[in-house]
Each structure stands twice: as C-alpha cells, then as structure tokens.
Amino acid sequence: MRAVRYVILSSLLAAVGCGGMEEQSQDEQTQDSVDVKPEGKGGGIASQFVSTAAKPTGTAASNGISYHSGPIMTGTKTIYYIWYGNWSGNTATTILTDFANSIGGSPYFNINTTYTNSSGGIVNNSVVYGGSTTVAYPYGTSLTDAKIQQVVADAINAGTLPKNTNAVYFVLTSQDVTASSGFCTQYCGWHTHGTIGGSDIKYSFVGNAARCPSSCAGQTASSPNGNVGADGMASIIAHELEEAATDPDLNAWYDTSGAENADKCAWTWGTTSTASNGSKYNMTLGSRQYLIQQNWVNAAGGYCAKSY
C-alpha cells in the first residue's frame, strides 16, 4: 500500500508549475493526504492567484500520471457527510451541502472522465449527495486515524447512513476538533479505505480550515460564501473526492512520486474573479461561488485545469 504524504510545513518546497509539490518524506500508512499550503507560495493572498496551469503545447508522450491496475469508481458516486463536533449556527452545513449537491455533472468534475480502468470504464461525471448525520464528541476533540474510521463505522453500523461501496464518507470536524496525526501541521485532509461491515468502504477526513486558515484555507481574510473555514473545506473536499474516485484503494492512478491527480494541482487556482465581498473565486456551482483547486487532466500531455 502506498504511503501517506505527511509533509511538515517548514520543509515544504514550492510547487513548480502545476505539477504539485515534491515529497520530502513518507510514513507507511494506508492513506493519501492533501498537504498544508507551501510557504514558498508567497507571503500574500495575491501571490496565490497567479495561474500556473497553462495547457502544454504539442503532443506529449505521457500524461504525467500512470495507471497501476487498481479499481476506479465508475457509476454514480455518492457523498455522505458526518458532521463531528459542534456545528450549531455554522453556515458550513449549508455551504458544504450545496457544494455536494452541485459538483456532480459540473465541467470541473468532468475532468475525472479522463481516467479509465483496464476495461475502459471511466470515472463518469455522476455524483449525488446522499445525506448526513451529526455526532457530538464520542471520541473527544483529538481524533486518531483509527477513531476517524470508527466514526464512519458507527454511522454505517447504526444505520444512520447506508452502507454504500460506491460512496465517499466525509468526516467533517468542527473548529475545536483536531486529528492527532497532523491536521494543520502536516495535512488538511486525507482519504483512504477500510473494511467496514465486510465491505470495502471509502472515507475521508477533512478538518475545519478555520482552525488553521493560513495552512488550510485558500483565503484567510474573506471568502466567497462569507465563511473562511467552510470555503477552505470545499476545496479540500473536492481534492479528496476526485482522488477517491480515481484511486479509491490507493492502487490505481498516481505518478512516479506517488502524487494522485489532485495532488498534482494542489493550491493552484487558475484564473480567478472577484466576488462582491472582495474575495476571490474561480467557479460557480449551483447558486454559489467557490475557490476550488484545479485538477489534473489525464490527456494532451497532462495539465491542471478547472474544467474539461
């Protein structure tokens, strides 16, 4: 099983072009994570909105990412949310539900249709929101990786969420909750899979970016939907969803350094616009504006983009 990229913030290298960031070390795990923002991106927000993702000219021999024979998520993929902690009065529950309801069928998620399996099946552009459940603090405010899996297992075993092998279960934590393996210092989120109730279940941890906006939010002063934590989480959810779809068991699509499709474009936005509140956004999904990282197109030599 490939290793999770637990890269310490102080040791990160700046991303070059849209090729993502180099790994400094690996720790044997069964996860794949999205790193905290690299310090090399620059000291101000303005420096984060320079497009580094021009489509390459000419025909390349390789798209910069390879297939390793594992399964992909074909068919309709379902998003489930598990709201962990105290989300009372937080607009994130509406913002992120709207995001889950609108990403399927979008030009953005259509990028994933460039990924196929050995039979020619594709990650089709079909994603639905399957619902959510809310839990308080059954395992406290510092979650181990094992407890995060247990949160998912509890929801499935109790019947509060259905068991679905073509779904991604997102454990979303409130601002007062951390993950002890490195949230905010080494990663902003991760995805993996595990056997729950005898089935292979895909799940993800995405912490509240408001806990460490300088590390895990695209913007720290304002955001398109007026909630820095939720808007930061939307981009991380997108990252983990597209990686889970193309590499659900961590043995399908990744490059020679172990980077999955979204890793190769982490913290790049492409062309942005200015929202009415002065924040930046780069796409509209449903009725909302979002700042969502680009994803790697597995065609034409490979490149980062916001749509396909």
Please give the Cα distance from 170 to 33 (Å, whole number). Answer: 13
228-264 per-position pLDDT tens digit: 999 999 999 999 999 999 999 999 999 999 999 999 9
CA dihedral 111, 115, 120, 123 (to 10 degrees): -60
- pTM for this model (two decimals): 0.87
Contacts of 236 (CB under 8 A, 6+ apart): 34, 188, 189, 206, 209, 216
Where does the pLDDT of residue 166 fall: very low under 50, low under 70, confident under 90, or very high at 90 and above? very high
Please give the Cα distance from 6 to 189 (Å, whole number). Answer: 11
Pair 171, 87: CB distance under 8 Å:
no
To 5 degrees, how large is the angle CA 150–CA 154–CA 156?
115
Average pLDDT (157-184) is: 98
Query: For the chain, what percent of residues have pLDDT higher than 90?
Result: 80
Where does the pLDDT of residue 30 fall: very low under 50, low under 70, confident under 90, or very high at 90 and above? low
Pair 74, 117: CB distance under 8 Å:
yes
Q: Map tokens 């690299």 to a residue.
A: 38
- Give the domain ranges of the chain: 21-305
Where does the pLDDT of residue 37 fall: very low under 50, low under 70, confident under 90, or very high at 90 and above? low
Pair 289, 275: CB distance under 8 Å:
yes
